[in-house]
Amino acid sequence: MGHPNHYEFLQISPNAEADTIHRVYRFLASRLHPDNPETGDPDKFFQLKQAYDVLSDPKLPAEYDAKSAKETTDQEPISESVDFMDNLEGELNRRLAVLAVLYIRRRVHPHSPDVSLFEVEKRMGFPRDYLEFTIWYLQKKGYITRSDNSAFTLTADGVDFVETQRVSTPTLNKLLTSESESSTTVKSGAEPIDKQPQGPVAVHTDRRKQGDRRKRA
């Protein structure tokens, strides 16, 4: 999670030639440069410069590829411990997994919270073709945004959802704890959870349920 995917950020193949890397860099640099009043983005421009500095150097790509491969091997895909295939429940779990990945990224890297589609796919261990509906739903709910380079970011509404749902959603709690343990800078500290909602994920429904429980207590 902490190792940026430069190829995905530039939207190029790992086998791209130097001319292609340079051409893509120039195009993105003109869009992301802080002096561009319409599309300028200092954080993304910094990421772009990092990616270009690595991939344009004749010696660095091999070292970068080796590090990326090691990180991918070390982390067990989420699909090994969470069911993504069981119809409605599988879809709900996919939504929660995407949110958990983006939430931990934002907590650990607040100045670089973007997660590429490639990273999401690899972390979940699930093909991107099966994530289109999941991503569409989360975008429409306002929980995530998608940038021009297909990177995803958790919104403030997404953060609120994750933090209010964690206690009442076992799968989300499990995902957050697992993702936190894979990061040395985030403490898991999860509380015991109640039962998992059976219907489509919705923040307002669970807030009322939590209020009812407090009144009965």
pTM of the model: 0.53
Q: How many domains does the chain have?
A: 2
Examine residue 126 and state whether it is found in any structural domain, yes or no.
yes
Domain extent at residue 109: 77-216
Q: Let me know whether 81 and 102 are in one domain.
A: yes
**Domain boundary residue, one of 17, 42, 72:** 72
Q: Is 170 exposed, middle or buried (0-12, 13-18, 19+ CB in 10 A)?
A: middle
Spatial separation of the C-alpha atoms in residues 61 and 43, rounded to whole Å: 22
143-163 residue pLDDT tens: 999 987 778 999 999 999 999
CATH label of the domain that carries residue 24: 1.10.287.110
Q: What's the token pair of residue 146?
A: 């998608």
When pLDDT is cut at 50, 70 and 90, the band that residue 81 belongs to is low
**14-66: per-residue pLDDT in tens?**
777 889 999 999 999 999 999 999 989 998 899 899 889 888 888 777 777 77
Residue 1 lies in a domain: no
